[in-house]
Chain A
Amino acid sequence: MLRYFLRRLLLLIPVLLGVSVVIFSIVHLAPGDPAEVMLGPSATQEDIANLREQLGLNRPLYVQYGAFLGNALRGDLGRSMRSNAPVVEEIMDRFPATLTLAVLGMAFAIGIGLPLGLLAALKQNTWIDALCSFVALAGFSIPNFWIALMLMLLFSIYIPILPSSGIDSWKNLVMPTIVLGVQTMAVIARMTRSSMLEVIRQDYVRTARAKGISDRLVLTRHILSNVMIPVVTIAGLYFGHSLGGVVVTETVFSIPGLGRLIVDAIRSHDYPVVQGGVLFFALCVGVVNLLVDMLYAALDPRIKAQYRAAR
């Protein structure tokens, strides 16, 4: 198990290297001179030339990339052009808020999505199933920024019980949690429903029932443990993807997190922050996927057995 974990961790390295090439190319091959953009329209040619020299923009691209990569490996992602603070510091300042949101969003997604999917499957082809399935499909289709605005309208303006911005108390986090979690919730509900429908028709479930085990025990011991396997995989993979949702959520609710950091950095052409931020996001997605794989192995005895055999 540990060996597998380490191997997977090593496999993350080429992906991150690839991401660094992609994001470096996007930022540096783009039209427009960063030095010119930073100094604004009133800058003289001399100022621009000086700044270019200072930022190392006159060197060939591969040299610049080499320097970027070398520094990144030592944990130095450069300095923000706006605040002049180290990019790593900026990211770490913002990370706790994003992490909190992401964890809460996931908890919401599982807490609502799982029961919704189970209910739909247990009541297959009834109006309850139709309703649950529609809620799931709607959650997947309605833009999260619209949900955000409508929640604000409802709970901050019409019935003012929740604040619409900041992160001072738990109340601030209620709406962002829903907005961030709703898409994953929909995916989990759909996945749970189809997985559940498959499992309840399996022979081992019939056998368990035939043995006279109570319905509840069959559900918890025999059905749920098997339903969870595909759900965890999909939910985990989707979770990495849904981390992108923090961009919208943090912007709408004025939460100082990573998503907003990247959007602000793009708006103000703060390239080191964009590079570092995207790289950090990719790292998070990679780590989440890795954890999901570990969880997957822990949930499925067949896979665990494979590792044992491999050793």
Chain B
Amino acid sequence: MNSAGRSYSTLAACGVAGEKRRSPWWEVWRRLRRNRAALVGMGVIIMLVMVAILAPVLTPYDPNKTDMKARLQRPSLSHPLGTDNFGRDMFSRVLYGSRISLYVGFVAVGIGAIFGGVLGAVGGYYGGRLDNFIMRCMDVLLAIPQIILAIAIVGALGTSLVNLMIAVGISQLPRYARVVRASALTVRGQEFVEAARAVGARDVRIIVENILPNCMAPIIVQSTLGVAQAILSAAALSFLGLGIQPPTPEWGSMLSAGRQFLRQAPYLSFFPGLAISIVVLALNIFGDGLRDSLDPKLRQ
């Protein structure tokens, strides 16, 4: 990503150019506020996080309570999104599904961003053979399509929530390493890094206190878009039966279960998929807006 270095310099420029010495993040927010689509995306994400937190209060039924008398009911007032083949309320399950998806999305990106970020920062800071070695390892991971790598990892570790997050996180790791490395390369030559070195700061401290904070802009953009990708990958794995197992209400596995009833009860497949689409769309729109705000030069 060649935008990475530029984002940093834009951030720095904002800080210097502002008459009242406002923080660069304030400038970013000011630009973001003018992007209506990004604000809508952000609103949707905030709402979804609220739904996920408040799911127990908002849902009319227990998402796992079966009721064989109420199997495969069409959407109605008492069951707004219908019921599944075990008579479970789909509305409650879809709302609870947001918890798992957001959880998996954020934790997986956390895993990828932390490990990838550290690898990228170390490579970019030290350069030379170490950098070369790290980046060649990332090339190897990138040579395997992301979803296939995730499937292989989950297949080996076994299906569980934690393993799913690890698999998706590792499969995303290279892109954070690359983005952070690109920023680290531009930062490491700056005066303040030299100054830190001159006063005798150790490398670890320089990386943590000087390099990483200055790579934050591209990391945040990449993470926002990464959460969207992670949610899609996790749902795809669950859909293939290699992710979160039923009866846990997860959108991907709900879709997979609904597939058998596509003819009788299409709403079983429709709503979970719609939910995934809305979350991922909102995250992508917000991520795009954030990138434009952090790097106005890229904006057409």
Least CB distance, A225 to chain B, in whole angstroms: 20
Is A285's beta carbon under 8 Å from chain B?
yes
Beta-carbon contact of A26 and B152 below 8 Å: yes
Is B155's beta carbon under 8 Å from chain A?
yes
Beta-carbon contact of A18 and B147 below 8 Å: no
Dominant secondary structure of chain B at its interface with chain A? helix
Contacting A244 at CB < 8 Å: which of B137, B147, B259?
B147
Beta-carbon contact of B262 and A153 below 8 Å: yes
Beta-carbon contact of A137 and B152 below 8 Å: no
List, in ascending order, chain B residues with CB within 8 A of A68's CB.
Answer: none
List, in ascending order, chain B residues with CB within 8 A of A15's CB.
Answer: 136, 139-140, 143
Interface centre among A143, A149, A243 (most CB of B within 10 A): A143
Least CB distance, A105 to chain B, in whole angstroms: 13
As a 0/1 sequence over residues 234 to 250 of chain A, the CB contacts with chain B under 8 angstroms (1 = contact) are 00000011111101100
> What residue of chain A has the Cβ atom nearest to residue B262's Cβ?
A153
Is B284's beta carbon under 8 Å from chain A?
yes
List, in ascending order, chain A residues with CB within 8 A of B144's CB.
Answer: 19, 22-23, 278, 281-282, 285
- Known contacts A27-B156, A157-B262: A285-B143 contact under CB 8 Å: yes
List, in ascending order, chain B residues with CB within 8 A of A197's CB.
Answer: 300
Least CB distance, B30 to chain A, in whole angstroms: 22
Contacting A263 at CB < 8 Å: which of B151, B153, B252?
B151
Is B146's beta carbon under 8 Å from chain A?
yes
B140-193 residues at the A interface, CB under 8 angstroms: 140-141, 143-149, 151-158
> What residue of chain A has the Cβ atom nearest to residue B280's Cβ?
A141
Total A-B Cβ pairs within 8 A: 144
Interface centre among A150, A247, A281 (most CB of B within 10 A): A247
List, in ascending order, chain B residues with CB within 8 A of A146's CB.
Answer: 255, 269, 273-274, 276-277
Contacting A18 at CB < 8 Å: which of B137, B153, B156, B266?
B137
- Known contacts A143-B232, A143-B276, A149-B269: A244-B145 contact under CB 8 Å: yes
> What residue of chain A has the Cβ atom nearest to residue B266's Cβ?
A153
List, in ascending order, chain B residues with CB within 8 A of A266's CB.
Answer: 151-152, 154-155, 242
List, in ascending order, chain B residues with CB within 8 A of A43's CB.
Answer: none
Least CB distance, A208 to chain B, in whole angstroms: 21
Assembled-state Cα–Cα distance A137/B143 (Å): 25
Beta-carbon contact of A247 and B255 below 8 Å: no
Least CB distance, B14 to chain A, in whole angstroms: 23
Is A173's beta carbon under 8 Å from chain B?
no
Contacting B281 at CB < 8 Å: which of A19, A141, A245?
A141
A169-218 residues at the B interface, CB under 8 angstroms: 194, 197-198
Is A274's beta carbon under 8 Å from chain B?
yes
Least CB distance, A95 to chain B, in whole angstroms: 15
Is A286's beta carbon under 8 Å from chain B?
yes
Contacting B156 at CB < 8 Å: which of A30, A144, A150, A248?
A30
> What residue of chain A has the Cβ atom nearest to residue B235's Cβ?
A143
Least CB distance, A191 to chain B, in whole angstroms: 13
Dominant secondary structure of chain A at its interface with chain B? helix
Is A152's beta carbon under 8 Å from chain B?
yes
Assembled-state Cα–Cα distance A141/B240 (Å): 18
Assembled-state Cα–Cα distance A143/B285 (Å): 16
Contacting B145 at CB < 8 Å: which of A141, A157, A281?
A281
List, in ascending order, chain B residues with CB within 8 A of A244's CB.
Answer: 145-148
List, in ascending order, chain A residues with CB within 8 A of B241's CB.
Answer: 267
- Known contacts A143-B236, A146-B255: A281-B140 contact under CB 8 Å: no
B210-253 residues at the A interface, CB under 8 angstroms: 228, 232, 235-236, 239-242, 252
List, in ascending order, chain B residues with CB within 8 A of A194's CB.
Answer: 300
Beta-carbon contact of A248 and B280 below 8 Å: no
Is A14's beta carbon under 8 Å from chain B?
yes
Contacting A145 at CB < 8 Å: which of B149, B236, B263, B270?
B236
Beta-carbon contact of A251 and B276 below 8 Å: no
Seen from chain B, the residues whose Cβ lies within 8 Å of a Cβ on chain A are: 136-137, 139-141, 143-149, 151-158, 228, 232, 235-236, 239-242, 252, 255, 258-259, 262-263, 266, 269-270, 273-274, 276-277, 280-281, 283-285, 288, 300
